[in-house]
Every structure is written in C-alpha cells, then in structure tokens.
Amino acid sequence: MQRTATFLWHLVPTATLAIALALVSPDILRAQDRATTTETISARQIVISLTERRLHLLEEGRPPRSFPVAIGRPGVAIPLGDSRVLRKRRNPTWHPTANQRRENPALPASVPPGPSNPLGKFALDLGWTAIAIHGTNEPDSVGRRASGGCFRMLPADIAALFEMVPVGTPVRVVSGPAALPSPQPAVAVTAAVSSLPIPASPIPAPPPKVASQKAASLPLPILPDPRCATAGAPLRRMICTVPDLAALDGRARALHQRHLAALPAERRDAAAYALLQEERRFDDRITARCWVRRGMEEDPAVAAAAEACLRDALSVRLEEAKRR
C-alpha cells in the first residue's frame, strides 16, 4: 500500500503538467503565432498602382522602392483592393487557367520551369484566384497592359522582391497613383552638415564646364519619330503631322538622346532600355487619356479635343525630359 502511494505521489507533477497544457487553448497559441507574424510583416507593404504601372515596396524606416510592372491587358479584369502574399514559389510551374485554355486551345496543360515559362523564376501568389506577382520571359512587356491579370516584373526586380518580402505581406492594388509616405524633412540633414568642422582654407570651386554650358544654351533640335513613316494609330499620326505637336515630341526625343550621349558607355544600354519603356508607358497613357476612335480624327471637334489633350501630355513629357 505504501509503495502504491509513493508511485502515485511521483505521478502528481507529470499529471499537473499535462492538465496545465490541456487548459492552454490552441486558439491562444495560434493567436500568439499570428501576433508574431503580424509584427514581422507589418513593417512592409506592397502597393501596386494601375495608373502608374508600378509596384511600390513600403518598409518602415526606409524610403519606398519602386518597380515597373505589367498589368492586365485591355478587356482583362484586374483585381482592386487588399490581399496578401499567400505563397512564394521559386522556379514555378505555370498552369494556364481554364479561360486561357479556351482562348488558346493550343496552350499546354502546364509549362515547367525554364526559359519558356511565362512566370519566370519567381512567383508570389496572392489571395485572389490565379493572380500573382511574378517574373516573365517577355521583359519588353513590363510597364504595359500586357498580362492575363497578374503583375509581371523584370527578372532582376522580382528576384530582389522575392527575397525581401515574407509570406503574409499585405498587398494593396489601387487604380490611381499610390499614396507614398512623404520624405523626411531636410532640417536634420542641415543640422548634421552645419556641425561639421569648417576647413581652414576654402575648397576651390570646380572649373566651369564651358562646353556643357554652351551645349545647354543651344536651341534644342527637333528629332523626328522614326515611326512616323508607318504610323497607323490616330493619335500618333496627329503627333507626326501637327507641327507644334511634332515639335514638342521631337524636342523631348532630342533631350533623351542628349542624356544618353552624356552617360558612360557601361550605363548607356540600361538607360536606353529604360527610355524605351518610358516611351511605351507614355503611348499607353495618351491612348487612355486622349482616345480617338479610328476614322473619327477627321471630325474637327474630335481632332481639336485630341490635339489639346496631346499638347498637354507632350508638354509635361518635355518638362520631365528637361529635369532628367
């Protein structure tokens, strides 16, 4: 009897621990896990602007980072609102949706990882069905309305984003410009600079760049658009044939070429590609804002409205080129 009592006494701590663990609700543990995860990802958020065709990564304590994206082509529904990153896939397999297979019966049931995979090497699956942020095997499409509803990124950009964002990161898609946090005021920088020791002798000013100043003072040439010879879209024909529109467009092109010529050779190819993407986005913007139905450009009222819209858009573009 005494040995039985001793055995039961040794079981008391174990039984107490088991009862204590049983009384801890799994919901409490899951809530704690969620709180930890939320704390980890709350410092990051992805905002995608359909108007800008850019993805912005917002991180607490860091300036926003921005990347160009391709969005759904005309006629394709694009999700709006809030979602989050549900899954991360490296070297994903692409499975065409049922709608895509109906539109193009020649599509395979799936495409394995490789150079012909439309998802590229990385994919971030979102909460919307069959919608992801992913790479592409068609980098020229980035910055345009070209996708089947997903958000395509350049290979280097999606590789960087894939490493920066965890599963659970909030994602918001907005139709207008993204509301980004304002930059930090320059007061702190000024104070820091003013606290630096003043050198004993003044730093000599750099010699004036006479050649650069002379080039900047010369009147801008008008560089014609090489597409004018074969332009078929009404808006592009207007830009090519209306003298003041052609002048605005040609001066912006001349500034772009001047900018490229001033760059080191190792940076020129990347800058030329960026300008090409920018020109494509500009064409998409004027198509959306200054739209003219084909065949209606001969109507004086329609032509006048389109020309005024194009004049505003080209003037803004020229000012942006001057600030480059």
Please return the burial class of 256, using the count of CB atoms within 10 Å of its CB with bins 0-12, 13-18 and 19+. buried
Distance separating alpha carbons of residues 222 and 186, to the nearest angstrom: 39
Which residues, other chains included, contact 183 with Cβ-Cβ below 8 Å and sequence gap of 6+? 63
Vertex 149 angle, CA 146 and 153, to 5°: 60
The position carrying tokens 């989050």 is 84
Q: Which of 299, 317, 293 is nearest to 234 (CA)?
A: 293
Q: Is 150 a catalytic residue?
A: yes
From 10, 56, 95, 134, the catalytic residue: 134
Please return the burial class of 205, using the count of CB atoms within 10 Å of its CB with bins 0-12, 13-18 and 19+. exposed
Q: What are phi and psi of 265, to 5 degrees?
A: -60, -35
Distance separating alpha carbons of residues 240 and 245, to the nearest angstrom: 7
Give yes or no for a contact between 81 and 50, defined as CB atoms under 8 angstroms apart.
Answer: no
From 56, 150, 256, 290, the catalytic residue: 150
Please return the burial class of 185, using the count of CB atoms within 10 Å of its CB with bins 0-12, 13-18 and 19+. exposed
Q: Is 228 a catalytic residue?
A: no
The position carrying tokens 């607490």 is 60
Catalytic residues: 134, 150
